[in-house]
Amino acid sequence: MKEQGQTLVETVVVLLVMALSSVVALPLLGTAHREAALRRVTEQVRSQMWRARSDAMTTGRATALVFDRVPAGGWRCTVVQDGDGDGVRRSDIAAGRDFQVGRVLELEADKAGLGFIPDCEIPDPSGDGLLGGDFDDPVRAGSGDVLTFTAQGTATSGTLYFSDGRQMMRAIRVYGITGRLRTLRWKIGCDRWRIAHL
């Protein structure tokens, strides 16, 4: 007659293998989760950009993404349309001449969002050495963090930087004359930025 069941030693071995697998898999799952969150927030902002460009060309009015720091940390992105023909301006927004269109995108602090990896040498996406400038300002487009699209399809040139705060970054580059967008990705240990395929 054949014996059925497992010995205590076999059970302990199986449990040890499962525990070791978990220890190895958890960091990988954490990295995958952060990468997915970074991709998601970049795609949300990119979608807002396409919406602003489309609205500008459809309505014949300049339409912009206006970025504001939130007092508790993080950023807020609002799509605003020019109401008086002089472009989107913060003073016109405050006076009600330029108005919000669509929903406000909240980019929360302590999550993947606008920002840089702290204390890290980051290559310049243009390929010229290291990135410089103010590392407290990840919105490097336009004056006053306003990125405008015109009725002709052109835009404010610039780059928005996104980070998981630990090891990965993404950037959306806006090419002014064409209004074209390009998303790039970079992680610690890489020598240059690469095109991110969404």
Q: Which domains does the chain have, with CATH numbers?
A: 8-195 (3.55.40.10)
Classify residue 187 by burial, with Cβ atoms within 10 Å: 0-12, 13-18, 19+: middle
CB atoms within 10 A of CB 179: 21
Express each pLDDT in 71-106 by its tens digit. 888 899 999 999 999 999 999 999 999 999 988 999
The alpha carbon dihedral of 178, 180, 186, 192 has a sign of negative
pLDDT at 195 over 80: yes
Joined tokens for residue 115 = 């920002």
Q: How far apart are the first and last CA of the chain?
A: 60
pLDDT at 12 over 80: no
- pLDDT digits 0-9 by tens, 121-149: 999 998 889 999 999 999 999 778 999 99
How confident is residue 7, by pLDDT bands cut at 50, 70 and 90? confident
Can you read off the two tokens belonging to residue 162? Answer: 């996104």
pLDDT tens, position by position, 142-181: 778 999 999 999 999 999 999 998 999 999 999 999 999 9
Burial class (CB in 10 A: 0-12, 13-18, 19+), 115: buried
Q: In the prediction, which pLDDT does 38 show?
A: 94
